[in-house]
Structure 1
């Protein structure tokens, strides 16, 4: 895997542990963007049809990454919030309906459901602190629950949920299942068919190591016609290239969620970044991510005054590890870490580290030494 590590040319003094926020680009992605920019300068859109081939290749990569049945199930969206909004404001809610979420969700997967309050929709927040969070989530699904929407990996603590169990439970209860997978896809293997989810979404700028501005929305084929559309334009039509056609209908595929001109620059970048993940293989990527998180977990556990806020159960482990120091506020610890070129963020109860598969051993060891020094202050 050494050749793949060379794809990430971060500054020698930087210790990057912030992929749960924004991931650095691989060299190939920077090169793809540079080439695309030069082509635009020299030739404009002369080869636009080739750009569309890249976009189609990207849809194929995303379908494989999510194990979607077809590229027709894949929409290219601006971000996770937009995809969640397609679901929230596409379903036919009735007063008294409810949505179940956890009490640890990133605002994107909370606010969008709370915005349905004028329609009489109740949002039920479930604690994940118990011994069986999956059971707690499913038990909260009552007779009027229409949908369970959950982050498969929680952004602040890194708690990973058993989405296959949740999917099976939702099917038994006739509840729709929506997964905010932004902290999962690109870090660990993800499978929409195994989880039996109805909807899944993620941005490309975190674990997929691509620029902000382009993400993926998976929508199960049978549910696409059930989501009322609120955005219309030339690109979301069944015959989108026939500009003289007067009669129209939304595309049968997930392209129906893409109302206007595509993000061609974003597609070029995300296609390049995903080509790297494909070459490495998601099983290899996932194992490497978990190894690095465990390494950090074990090292932090040996430092006096460190409190780990991430579950140490193997089945709960993800690419995120959150800790705090008993002796110092999280904001102060974070400032000292950033002063020492450890790129991370304060999240939830402490400081969040999030290494990727390529993160060098030097970064792990030096970061642990820096935390140890801070703890001694």
Structure 2
């Protein structure tokens, strides 16, 4: 955020339900006269159009999560990217809730910057994130942290002989998280073995089973969008009897891990789980809810 040149009166369009990491960096630019425009996309008839309508001639950047962290609502990135490219608005995507679960196409969707932590769907370790920055934009975003790893040959320790790195590695100033890289590399090997399409098919089968089963239980409601194009790997469940935190704790006693987020119970089954696992999860949640 601070590596770009901003002017008073510029604005950034985002959603009102971003994870703090994708809010704080942009909100901090208010001191430079930059306006942050949050849009409640879940109240809109069309989420993408609501974001587009919030833009004007002073919009410099659109910052969104490809999948919302609370309920799994999935945006159509191609539509947003096309408008951003046409209006010369930078398109920033936080993909942590999608990368490793469903296919993403950075170039096709005109994404200028894509970021994602590696510890969720990619099954890496905490403390390591991925960042993809378009080649043209790398000449615009200035590195704010300086260190020995940001040069073309980081092992040339004579400062007078160092040359600037032009790839996105120019933003990596310090010693990398080597253990995290090893863990992520092992995980990516599994993706190469099975294929991302196969992974996405497995995840969609899991979420479909949860939606179809839990959506028919009295007192439970599927809070996630159920349109196929809006579904992700996350299924959020609401209850008219129990607080989501109470449901989370009750499922733990069944050795089932879920998480309470935004007043909902968030379920995120991965590709290594299957039909029997989903049946066990549904049976346990129904038992907990009806006792």
| TM score, norm. by length of structure 1 | 0.75
Deviations 1:208-264 (A, max 9, x none): 111111121000000112112111111101332322241544311111011022222
Q: Which one of 86, 103, 108 corresponds to residue 21 of structure 2?
A: 108
Counterpart selection for 2:216 from 302, 312, 320 = 302
Q: Deviations over 1:339-363 (max 9, x none)?
A: 2211010012310000011113222
Which position in structure 1 is the counterpart of 2:68? 154
Could you say what the CA RMSD is over the residues aligned between the two structures, in angstroms? 1.2
Deviates most, 150-159 or 358-367: 358-367
Equivalent-residue separation in structure 2 for 1:142 and 1:329 (angstroms): 41
After TM superposition, the structure 1 = structure 2 runs for residues 34-53 of structure 1, keeping only pairs within 5 Å, are none
2:124 aligned residue? 210
Q: 1:28-85: per-residue Cα shift (whole Å, max 9, x none)?
A: xxxxxxxxxxxxxxxxxxxxxxxxxxxxxxxxxxxxxxxxxxxxxxxxxxxxxxxxxx
Distance 1:212 1:104 in 2: 23
Do residues 316 (structure 1) and 256 (structure 2) align? no
Give the equivalent residue in structure 2 for 1:121: 34
Q: Distance in 2 between matches of 1:165 and 1:222?
A: 21
- Residue of structure 2 in register with 1:93 after alignment: 6
In 1, Cα distance between equivalents of 2:112 and 2:94: 11
- 8 A contact 1:340–1:370 mirrored in 2: yes
Higher mean displacement: 358-367 or 158-167: 358-367
The answer as to whether partners of 1:303 and 1:375 remain within 8 angstroms in 2 is no
Aligned to 1:331: 245
Task: Find the aligned partners of 1:147 and 1:245 in 2 and give their Cα distance.
Answer: 35
Once the two structures are superposed, the pairs formed by residues 14-33 of structure 1 within 5 Å of their partners are: none
| Shift, 1:184, TM fit | 0.8
Structure 2 SS opposite 1:153: coil
Q: Name the structure, 1 or 2, with higher relative contact order (CA <8 Å, separation 6+).
A: 1
Q: Is it true that 1:362 corresponds to 2:276 in the alignment?
A: yes
- Assess if the C-alpha contact under 8 Å between 1:323 and 1:349 holds in 2: no
Where in structure 2 are the equivalents of 1:1-377 lying within 5 Å?
88-129=1-42, 130-246=44-160, 248-377=162-291
Q: What is the CA–CA distance in structure 1 between the aligned matches of 2:223 and 2:25, rounded to whole Å?
A: 27
Instruction: After superposition, give the CA deviation of every residue in 1:283-326 in whole Å (9 maximum; x if it has no partner).
Output: 11111111100100111012110111100000000000001111
TM-score normalised over the length of structure 2: 0.97
Q: What SS does the corresponding residue of 1:177 show, helix, strand or coil?
A: strand
Q: How many angstroms does 1:279 deviate by?
A: 1.0
Secondary structure of the residue that 1:113 maps to in structure 2? helix
Counterpart position of 1:27: none
How far has the Cα of 1:329 moved from its partner?
1.6
User: Could you list the per-position Cα deviations for residues 157-182 of structure 1 after superposition, in whole angstroms to 9, with x for gaps in the alignment?
Assistant: 10011001110011111110000000
- Separation in 1, partners of 2:220, 2:277: 19
Larger helix proportion of the pair: 1
Secondary structure of the 1:265 match is helix
